[in-house]
């Protein structure tokens, strides 16, 4: 286990700089044994019960002191049943886990609504970002870090086991923040006009 103060979604690419001795041991053992590791989320210094299995894709840099830069990808969700601060005979934490399943379902219409809201949000913010075609049941994970969710909201998204529930959660979030963002951007635009010469025709 490699607990971190972040949320990793299945299919997400994550780069990590490994510098602590316990996690250098963990990563080196994963590399030599061709094994994956788990990243459970920590929020407010508390280890939460849901995390993600992570696979090492590459070692991008090795440092003289044994530190590593690695690229990883999220594989699937897991539930921590029992957590051990130090695994037996190791420096790093360990856990007994169970795997969380995904329920297959059709979500094309809901994806369409979410894409439209996301496009409007990014237009309001002046953001140009394209999302690739996604595998079935994973669009929510692809956009989860790009819609202004708090860490607690990102974690809640990870706990939902149906894509329709995740997309409904995202849809509600976007519908809530979009009017606020649009009004904020409108006020910013008006504020920028202050100090400019104005050609105003007075009423007769």
Phi then psi for residue 13, to 5 deg, are -85, 130
CATH T-level fold of 13-99: 2.30.130
Which band of pLDDT confidence, cut at 50, 70 and 90, is reported for residue 82? very high
**Which pTM value belongs to this model?**
0.85
* Backbone φ/ψ region at 63: left (φ over 0), alpha (ψ -120 to 50), beta: beta
DSSP state of 95: E
CB-based contact 56:70 (threshold 8 Å): yes
Percent of the chain with pLDDT over 70: 87
pLDDT band at 106 (very low <50, low <70, confident <90, very high): confident
Give the SS3 label for residue 45: coil
How many helical (H) and strand (E) elements, i.e. helices and strands, does the chain have?
5, 5
What does R_g of the chain's alpha carbons equal in angstroms? Answer: 22
The C-alpha atoms of residue 77 and residue 138 are separated, in whole angstroms, by: 12
* Domain layout of the chain by residue ranges: 13-99, 108-193
Give the tens place of pLDDT for each residue, 4-61.
999 999 999 999 999 999 999 999 999 999 999 999 999 999 999 999 999 999 999 9
- Name the region of 181 (left: φ>0; alpha: ψ -120 to 50; beta: rest): alpha
pLDDT at 100: 95
């Amino acid at each position: 286990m490699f607990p971190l103060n972040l949320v990793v979604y299945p299919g997400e690419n994550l780069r990590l700089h490994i510098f602590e001795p316990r996690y250098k041991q963990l990563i080196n053992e994963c590399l030599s044994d061709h094994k994956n590791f788990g990243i459970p989320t920590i929020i407010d210094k508390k280890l939460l019960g849901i995390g993600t299995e992570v696979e090492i894709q590459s070692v991008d840099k090795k440092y003289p002191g044994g530190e590593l830069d690695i690229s990883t990808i999220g594989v699937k969700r897991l539930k921590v049943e029992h957590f051990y601060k130090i695994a037996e005979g190791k420096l790093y934490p360990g856990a007994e886990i169970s795997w969380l399943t995904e329920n297959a379902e059709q979500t094309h219409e809901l994806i369409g609504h979410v894409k439209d809201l996301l496009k409007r949000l990014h237009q309001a913010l002046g953001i140009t970002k394209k999302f690739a075609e996604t595998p079935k049941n994973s669009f929510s994970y692809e956009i989860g870090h790009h819609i202004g969710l708090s860490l607690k909201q990102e974690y809640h998204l990870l706990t939902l086991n149906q894509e329709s529930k995740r997309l409904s959660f995202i849809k509600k979030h976007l519908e809530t923040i979009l009017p606020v963002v649009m009004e904020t951007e409108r006020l910013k635009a008006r504020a920028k006009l202050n100090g400019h010469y104005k050609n105003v025709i007075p009423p007769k």
